[in-house]
Amino acid sequence: MSDNLKESINLDRLPEHIAVIMDGNGRWAKKKGMPRVFGHRSGVKAVREITEAAAEIGVKYLTLYAFSTENWNRPALEVDALMTLLVKTIKEEVKTLNKNNIRLEAIGDLSRLPEKSHMALKEAIKDTSSNTRMTLILALNYSSRWEIVNSTKQIAEAVKSGKMEIEDINAETFSAHLATAKIPDPELLIRTSGEKRISNYLLWQLAYTELHFLDLFWPDFRKQHLYESILDFQNRERRFGKTSEQLT
């Protein structure tokens, strides 16, 4: 079943960058009568599945929303558990990332992560930095409004110190100041859990992204769901403001 789906994908029209909102861990656990943290732990398997499937098929960038700046407002026990899980998972996965030639990157206000998490992350980024098949980007302590405000400050600073002219501020130079400066905009966004919102994720970068919402909780996400999402993407007509007739 999943092999059939995979073979139906047109490899010449793959999204180069897929962004994902991994949502529904808590509800998945609750449905099973388990604590929310159990859902987060179970979500790691889905992270492995999507990373492996995306790399295998030839996707170049995969960005996963792992922790938003708003997620600090959750109960302290859950936040602690998420940070512990992060360190543990990153340390365990470096070997597999290297084996699969996958480079790890991160976007977000990383300096505000607990020291242990920040160190583990920095080390994994360094240890995988020469890998070339795919870049896996973790959005950690990330929010789009934080990112946009941060870029605006940098640009204002550059103008103030005379390194940049106001006339030089345009969509291109603005993009170059975002955390995703060296990464192309995502062509496809996938969100699980049935929720249909963006939750402060890549607001600038998603301007023309195709959105795909899935009615399943993140821990149930498997390779076939990635294939389904890509096939749906390939059936969309991306017009970028033009008319349908202009595209042919």
**Residue ranges binding ligand IPE (CB under 6 A):** 21-27, 65-68, 71, 82, 193, 195, 197, 199, 218
Q: How far apart are CA 207 and CA 242, in angstroms?
A: 15
Provide the 8-state DSSP code for 201: S
In the complex, what is the shortest distance from the CB of residue 136 to ligand IPE, in angstroms, rounded to a whole number? 15
- Residue 22 interacts, among ligand IPE, Mg ion, none and using kind-specific CB cut-offs from 5 to 8 Å, with ligand IPE
- Residue nearer to ligand IPE on the CB measure, 15 or 26: 26
Q: Give Cα separations from 132 to 129, 136, 201 (angstroms).
A: 8, 11, 25
In the complex, what is the shortest distance from the CB of residue 197 to ligand IPE, in angstroms, rounded to a whole number? 6
Q: How is the chain split among helix, strand and coil, in percent rounded to 5?
A: 50, 15, 35
- Of 12, 71, 73, 100, the active-site residue reads 71
| 131 assigned to active site | no
- Residue nearer to Mg ion on the CB measure, 23 or 147: 23
Q: Does 23 bind Mg ion (CB under 5 A)?
A: yes
- Of 3, 10, 12, 23, the active-site residue reads 23
Judge contact between 141 and 200, C-beta under 8 A: no
In the complex, what is the shortest distance from the CB of residue 209 to Mg ion, in angstroms, rounded to a whole number? 20
| 232 assigned to active site | no
- Residue nearer to Mg ion on the CB measure, 23 or 228: 23
- Cα dihedral: 26, 31, 33, 36 (round 10): 0
- Residue nearer to ligand IPE on the CB measure, 127 or 195: 195
Nearest to 136 by CA among 233, 205, 64: 64
Judge contact between 203 and 185, C-beta under 8 A: no
Nearest to 102 by CA among 64, 46, 68, 61: 61
In the complex, what is the shortest distance from the CB of residue 167 to ligand IPE, in angstroms, rounded to a whole number? 37
Q: Residue 65 is encoded by which pair of tokens?
A: 């929303």
- Residue 82 interacts, among ligand IPE, Mg ion, none and using kind-specific CB cut-offs from 5 to 8 Å, with ligand IPE
- Applying CB under 5 A, the span of 17-25, 72-80, 126-134, 157-165 interacting with Mg ion comes to 17-25
Q: Give Cα separations from 147 to 33, 55, 69 (angstroms).
A: 37, 27, 11
Q: Point out the residues that are catalytic.
A: 23, 71
Q: Where does this chain bind Mg ion (CB under 5 A)?
A: 23
